[in-house]
Chain A
């Protein structure tokens, strides 16, 4: 039975499937469609590849109900997998024509994919343009190829349009493999053997070919080709520098380069040692930052994604909220507490105060009640609302546990049909997911750091910082404070380098997000560091509702790095006093 939450790679989906499943995000990320170079940064699973898949010509043709040459742009998908262009053996090139050979590999890789992609996308329709394509092949492709020193008998090739594109892809693939195999040979032998094959680069080969391709009548006239490099963080350092050099050429009239990364892009330096910068050379999108600052949009997106998936894969028309029901007993009791607070705080002149207080405190009071009781029951994180909030703006943090819930239920139910996920199963899976998010990542950080004492200390400090914040926010949640849902720390001064480095490490691993708010004096902005809500179940926090932030000095926060107990205790003592805090919107 199909798992509706299975996370598929874009190439596993047909254009029709993509168009039926995709939820439009381009009002938020309009730069992706604009004719410029763009970096799209986002954690794994935040929807980058899906965005790329949606703007490919086959999908756009369906969406816009038009011909290929009527599209706003013609994009080409260039997947950078861990297995293809970046293999360990290329590291041996370090001192041996590294740039030249890597650029040749990158150009031939991109072009062979491009020609194959065109053949696979436009298909037999290309045969309507046989003569035009034959002319391109002989006058442009072969002419340019000859300049590189390439000599083969098959150059006098006559065929249909589609086969000519396939032939060009084959020639370039052959050039790619010959060079790649040369690199592998010298890697094992570890001695320099002269390279006698042809060599190509961006300026003299790739760019002129695209300029000539653009003149073919089945492409949108005078519109740039978009090259979509997916997961460019998997390129090796030299290949990354080469790609940056291409970005620095500003060829957006002919080619726009769209680069997706998982915040793991190795360098922004070019092959000549210069740096590419935004907005000068490219525009930049950070998906997680966008969604953590706009929770309502995100909620609607996930709801649409879930309901579309249930409909397409299970033929099940249901609300996402019904498919992921809450713990009914828990919600019933929370509702009762809500009513009690509303009644107690009712003031005819300030009616909103009662509602506001009821909404703010009902979950906190419920948790306190559970804590003091002997039922042994804990707060349940089931329910679509909570699962969306926990996913912290990263779609995969919703889909991955949902996939796990569905597959577990399927195996326990012996494959009978599923119309909802029981709340206890949701709670079990999301708790495990939260714990795994913390422990697995920290295992990784500690292992990464084991060879480096300074880095290890930094990892220790980060663990202390995250634990301190998690425990502090829990203590605030179950306190009697006016604002009990706190997920972030606002610093009223600049952190020193030690604290900043630890915070940066937390951002790199996805435990913290960075934002800014107006400072207390209204004279500028302060840095705001938000704890990922994926950690809510682990630290027993309320992922929902309004969230305030805790102002503190860098000096105070720094105590958390080495003395977490002292840090928490200092706040526990203050918790009964009124805090200087400000309310924020749902996602800080």
Chain B
């Protein structure tokens, strides 16, 4: 985990001398959107950009107000994002970076960006890696769906739309068969919907490994859900990935790609946490034949969903690019 550091919230210290010209975050119905914003010293930040979806939940609007208050002295810019127009959002992000002064240090709190927006930001970060220094921050959840009993755990319901993530289209041959790799989370019903709609020729299901599980009860529920998904798709193959070490997940996903890329067009659906989604994005940046897809959700569990943990991960993205030779 050489490119990722775990920092406890009650003793939040960054590398000495590290300051940010820009701090980018996203509002959300999740309390976690406030964690880094309320922890980081405002003296380390120059300008602040807060992303907020149009027509949002009331609770998200409230969190936006809280975020604005946290950064009041910085006069934060609010960027209103479109829900179902990813290209418009991509253009908004791209425009920011074109307007930023070169060699700036940019902090992005990826915790509550949608996976689609996170992946598009990652793509731009890769394209602009020679112009800026990117630092990603992620606050994991402590536990999920806090207002429900664990038996009925749910984070979101239904799949509204499935689309390829803009800037991750893959390079598909019309002559190859279609393989779908899903990095599953708790929401096995959404994974099943994805499978039903995509109808892949081959299916590979990834399960978060027990070692990284938040607690044993959740691990048991996850196991049960995963087994059910497997029985529903008896011809599928399986593998385990990490939702803590994104670099470990990169290695695992690359192994899967290597196994199948000769005969299959590969689509990957990251449906677990942001770190494993980040891993999928980095794999797809390195291997442009792979497509990444996004299943937008119908309804989030705004009353529960998650509560923040007591630590934050810090990823030096440029260091990762340099160490892993992302210079293509």
Which residues of B have CB within 8 Å of A403? 232
Bound-complex Cα distance A330 to B199 (A): 39
Q: Which residue in A12, A44, A190, A444 is a CB contact (below 8 Å) of B298? A: A444
A144 within 8 A of B: no
Contacts of B209-254 to chain A: CB distance below 8 A: 227-228, 231-235
Contact A83 to B55, CB < 8 A, known contacts A12-B235, A88-B169:
no
Q: For this complex, into which size category does the number of interface residues on chain B fall?
A: 35 or more
Contacts of A1-37 to chain B: CB distance below 8 A: 1-3, 6-7, 9, 11-12
Do A82 and B198 touch across chains, with their CB atoms under 8 A apart? yes
Do B228 and A407 touch across chains, with their CB atoms under 8 A apart? yes
B310 within 8 A of A: no
Bound-complex Cα distance A475 to B225 (A): 38
A326 within 8 A of B: no
Do B232 and A11 touch across chains, with their CB atoms under 8 A apart? no
Do A82 and B228 touch across chains, with their CB atoms under 8 A apart? no
Report B122 CB to chain A, min CB distance, Å: 13
Closest to B200 in A: A9
Which residues of A have CB within 8 Å of B173? 173, 177
Do A180 and B228 touch across chains, with their CB atoms under 8 A apart? no
Segment with Cβ contacts to B, from A109-117, A127-135, A270-278: A109-117
- Give B175-210 as 1s and 0s: 1 = Cβ < 8 Å from A's Cβ atoms: 101100000000000000000111111000000000
Do A83 and B160 touch across chains, with their CB atoms under 8 A apart? no
Contact A91 to B87, CB < 8 A, known contacts A81-B199, A169-B175:
yes
A92 within 8 A of B: yes
Do A411 and B196 touch across chains, with their CB atoms under 8 A apart? no
- Give A430-446 as 1s and 0s: 1 = Cβ < 8 Å from B's Cβ atoms: 00000000001001100
A148 within 8 A of B: no
A417 within 8 A of B: no
Which residues of B have CB within 8 Å of A116? 174-175
Bound-complex Cα distance A317 to B155 (A): 43
Which residues of B have CB within 8 Å of A6? 232-234
Q: Which residue in B160, B228, B234 is a CB contact (below 8 Å) of A444? A: B160
A66 within 8 A of B: no
Bound-complex Cα distance A556 to B52 (A): 44
B54 within 8 A of A: yes
Contact A9 to B87, CB < 8 A, known contacts A188-B167, A443-B157, A443-B298:
no
Most chain A beta-carbon neighbours within 10 Å: one of B94, B199, B234, B293: B199
Contact A11 to B201, CB < 8 A, known contacts A83-B178, A84-B174, A176-B174:
yes
Do A447 and B169 touch across chains, with their CB atoms under 8 A apart? no
Q: Which residue in A9, A44, A411 is a CB contact (below 8 Å) of B231? A: A411
Bound-complex Cα distance A39 to B233 (A): 30
Bound-complex Cα distance A92 to B235 (A): 37
Q: Which residue in A89, A408, A410 is a CB contact (below 8 Å) of B164? A: A89
Bound-complex Cα distance A88 to B228 (A): 32
Contacts of B288-315 to chain A: CB distance below 8 A: 291, 293, 298-299
Which residues of A have CB within 8 Å of B97? none
Q: For this complex, into which size category does the number of interface residues on chain A fall?
A: 35 or more
Bound-complex Cα distance A286 to B232 (A): 29
Contacts of A350-370 to chain B: CB distance below 8 A: none
B29 within 8 A of A: no
A170 within 8 A of B: yes
- Give B148-173 as 1s and 0s: 1 = Cβ < 8 Å from A's Cβ atoms: 00000000011010111111011111
Do A447 and B232 touch across chains, with their CB atoms under 8 A apart? no
Bound-complex Cα distance A11 to B171 (A): 22
Contacts of B43-60 to chain A: CB distance below 8 A: 54-55
Report B229 CB to chain A, min CB distance, Å: 10
Contact A180 to B171, CB < 8 A, known contacts A83-B267, A83-B293:
yes
Bound-complex Cα distance A187 to B164 (A): 13
Contact A44 to B198, CB < 8 A, known contacts A88-B87, A89-B164, A173-B174:
no
Q: Which residue in A83, A89, A411 is a CB contact (below 8 Å) of B166? A: A89
A448 within 8 A of B: yes
B101 within 8 A of A: no
Do A12 and B164 touch across chains, with their CB atoms under 8 A apart? no
List 19 A-B pairs, Cβ < 8 Å: A1-B234, A9-B201, A11-B201, A83-B164, A83-B267, A88-B163, A89-B164, A92-B87, A113-B174, A113-B175, A173-B173, A184-B169, A190-B94, A407-B231, A407-B232, A411-B228, A411-B231, A451-B55, A451-B83
Name the 5 nearest CB pairs between A and B, nearest first.
A407-B231, A9-B199, A87-B169, A443-B298, A112-B174
